[in-house]
Structure 1
Amino acid sequence: MNTTLNSSHPNRQIHRFDAHDREIFRGAVVAFVLRGIGAGLAFALNIVIARLLGAEGAGPYFIALSVTVIGSVIVRVGLDNSLLRFVSAGVALQDWGRVRSVFRLAMGVTLASSGALALGLMVFAAPLAAQVFDRPALVGPLRYAGAAIVSFSIMSLLSEALKGLKLIGPSMLVAGALYPLFGLVLIWPMVHLLGPDGASATYFVATALAAAVGWWFWRRGFVTHDTPAVFGWAELWDSCRPLWLMSVVTRAILPWAPVFLLGFWGSGDQAGIFGAATRVALLVSFLLVSVNTILAPKLSELFVRDEVATLRRLANRMTLGLCILTSPLFALLIFQGSAVMRLFGPEFAQGGAVLAILAVGQAVTVASGAAGQILMMTGNERIMGDLSLGACAVLLGLSWLLIPAYGMVGAAIANAVCMAVVNLGALLFSARVLAGMHMPEGAT
């Protein structure tokens, strides 16, 4: 790869960098505003659920939610990241037949896999609740969690596809703002109608509605061309296979396995408090997610166009800005964690230490910036897969040691350590990749 492609035209390079910078800034502002609205709505929804059900009643909801998220990440087999990468590259090259083909393939695989898992979970919800969790109250939430695996998976893929089309506003609405908005509208009547099971039912209906809106946005935004569909499963699987493991660890196991394991080794109120603290801690990194929403397709575009120096400078600048902007929120969660948790109800205030520990793990994620995105968008997915495997082993080992002895505090420590392992590892390897970037064999 020729990293000096534009070195003989410094003015042109600066102009391109400024144009990329402005595009990222404009998109990040849109993403930040919409994700901020979505985060506020989701926070309000969690507060409403916690106050309606209490810590003990919220436990089954958060356990079921962890099943939904973990199950969804498993059935998507890493397709969301690969879909973003290939749609972005196809749009940059104006290869619309390839874009259409990879979208249909990803959706078909996800519908089949999520439907199969959802059916199994619905059928075996009763024995799972009684024999695995020893919580009969989990039967209803587990059944709704199975249905939500389908709706949440499709909603997530549609959001990534919309990012690839550079429809940032619609993408943020679908994945961040619409489902908590629908949830707030539905939560009271659903809980009144179905009791504690109504919270899990609300999540399923809300994500299904958001997915329907996302499909409408995709149909409007896709540019139709009579070009042949040429994308094959082998090429897609080669990209998403290592991303699958990374997604399972970073999106499912790291944030949600502790809630799941507290269902075995802890009490119902601990699972509820930890679940609420997890949702709050994610606020630290929501700005990172907002920026990465814009940055990921741009990184793929710059990589395809051989503009490595621009890619490097853009990623560094975004990371510095993120660290500065998120530091006040990080400080709030560290020093006023109990006060923040008290918003969920007086019994949640004991989760202040848990929130502080989880916030440290999220702060490390923010400090790593776009490291993971750089690896994934430049064809180095296998590095992220290896890092994720190591982090998973650390999480399971620490959880086995700490949760039985220290409950939700032990779960928080295990989570924060593993977040540090995967993100600092990504930071190290992405720096090496950028220092001597080359086009991986078979990368597009």
Structure 2
Amino acid sequence: MNSEEIVLPRTAGEYEGDGIARTFGGLPYDPETGEVISKAEAVRRREEVAALGEQVPEYECWQRDSFMAEMRDDDVFMLEKPRITHLHAPEYVLRPLLPRKAVSIIAADSGTGKSTLAAHIEALASRGELSEGRPLKCLVVTTEDSQDDISAQYAAEGANVDNIRLLMVESGSRMAADGSPALKTFGPNDLKTIIDVAFKVRPDIIRIDPLHRFAAGDWNNGRSAEFIDELTVAAQSLNCAVLGIMHTRKGATNAKESITGTGQWVAKARSVMVMAAPDDDKSHVVLQQTKANRSATQNYEITFAVKPMTFDDGSEYDLRFVADMVETTRTADDVFQQNAADRAAYVDRDELNDLSGWVYDRLAERNGHMFASELYRLASERPERWSRGQVRRAFASAGVKQTKQAQRHPKSILYLADHCDELTAKKWGNIPTTTTEKWESK
């Protein structure tokens, strides 16, 4: 992608590209009298001026030279009645995940594929394959991927890069190894400039990766998320969707409470999505929309695949990309809970002591389940003559669970959580022939 120099004017220039003077609320007005007029009248007056060959002035919209929360002398405060007779339906660049005029969040653990999914969405947008069915412009602000890495990602996704721009910062004093200006990273003080750039290029999607890069101070403090208000106002002004990428807590078990930092991150966003990958299958990830202020939530199963890419020097690299994305009733909570159960059930046989190892082996060689009375009998016949109490104390370290037959006068059944589930153990326990099976003492 060729780099482009973005020159920011001192003022914001034309409002939505029409050069008509606007009030704070976006209404056309006569700059000489201050009178609010209709858009048709404003266009007529503008055309009259143009017909005289005079220069048509460009007026500021309500963007500030500094943070949007800071007032200027030329700002106009408006008191308006709510418009309840001409209601506008919510707009989306990707329904129901990415509403316009709002900040949305995708959160996931490292390596789950959140940035890959964001690049996939941007590629679809660039080709006109999202909800609105027309090509959309994307502005990407990322500090976690190099330009080469993200460009390769777009190549794998088949993006139309004419509609995508990466925002970079070059150092004015330091030089890179190849003699070009060194790149710098972004911080909280750069948010104003990023908003200024957004007003210059007017994108449909702004991706900030990671979102917490612009948080000042302690992430667990509610004030650290106040900058999201700035992004929300910018999104409303530009009629665009802001997509922030965040991380989830290690070992998360609840999607709604999994995002790192203060709860204000979620409170200030209008759409929040959490991705979760099974420990044993990173290619099938669940995206759960935990919050949607303007619609019902929707969950998706995302299938990742690998595509071989060839670089200019002839080397090859397998790049992960989104191969499919379909609706599902499965949730990230389901994945978190399954992962937690699998981790709790995991047993490293080599780390067990003699008794725990013997218990584990006896159940494992019987497909992971057996009657408790049978195990106690075998233990008592061992040279060590292990008691029931000793055997029971070994259950936790060996990953042994206990259940009962689903019948009258049920017998107690032991099973290994990493070999079978409780239902399987219960069904096995109801097979009459198993009660007559005898096993040699070991």
TM category (shorter chain) comes to under 0.3
User: Relative to total residues, which structure has the larger strand share, 1 or 2?
Assistant: 2
TM-score by length of 1: 0.24
Indicate the structure (1 or 2) with the bigger Cα radius of gyration.
2
